[in-house]
Amino acid sequence: MGPWIAVGVVAVVFVIVLVMVVGLYNGLVRKRIDTKNGWAQIDVQLKRRYDLIPNLVETVKGYASHEKDTLEGVIKARQQAVQITSDSMHAAQKADAENMLTQALGRLFALSEAYPDLKANQNFGQLQEELTSTENKIGYARQHYNDTVARYAEARQAFPSNIVAGVFNFQKAEYFKLAEGSEEREAPQVSFS
């Protein structure tokens, strides 16, 4: 009877360890899928942004065609952003390109101050509003994505799931970050003097 008890104990321990490994593996898979889904939500909003930009540039051309450098800068920044592989493994590169595009769009919108007819154009205003709405959606999607990346990173690093993550080669996901200068925004100064 003694050897059968030992075999039974070993079998029970093996089943318990197997169930734990399967549970940890499935948890890591769920978190990785959540991260990929979060990235897909960012990607949808970025594509919407890319689709709006050519219409915006064309509208501005009608009023400020001699602002060629600004218009070409927006087009170039858009092309660079579109060309970068859009997946969570290239999030840092994508974020850099998106930051460049945001800066170029800022210069484009600054033109509207110099051209009152452009600022009053209904099509320009509508495109600007749609782009602003899309930027907000990108911000929400980015926040959700970064939250899923944090949960995934925690699961990859916490014991004992870090062992399962290492054995099954669960890769690190990158955060989608703003440019350093964008994160440290100063509050506007208000003066009544």
- State pTM to two decimals: 0.79
Q: CA angle at residue 50 from 44 to 54, to 5 degrees?
A: 150
Alpha helices in 121-168 (DSSP H): 122-157, 161-167
The overall average pLDDT reported for the chain is 87
Q: Is residue 190 scored above 80 in pLDDT?
A: no
Question: Tell me, what amino acid is at 27?
Answer: G
Q: What is the pLDDT of residue 179?
A: 64
The region of weakest confidence among 121-130, 134-143, 148-157, 158-167 is: 121-130
Q: What is the pLDDT of residue 30?
A: 97
The sign of the dihedral angle between the CA atoms of 137, 138, 143, 148 is positive
Q: What is the pLDDT of residue 185?
A: 41
pLDDT-above-90 percentage for the chain: 58
CA distance 73 to 149: 32
| Second-level CATH architecture of 2-26+34-178 | Up-down Bundle (1.20)
CA distance 106 to 109: 5
CB 50 within 8 A of CB 82: yes
For 159, which DSSP code? T
- Model confidence at 178, pLDDT cuts 50, 70, 90, reads low
CB 172 within 8 A of CB 68: no
Q: Would you list the domain boundaries of the chain? A: 2-26+34-178
Q: What is the pLDDT of residue 79?
A: 93
Averaged pLDDT for residues 116-137: 88
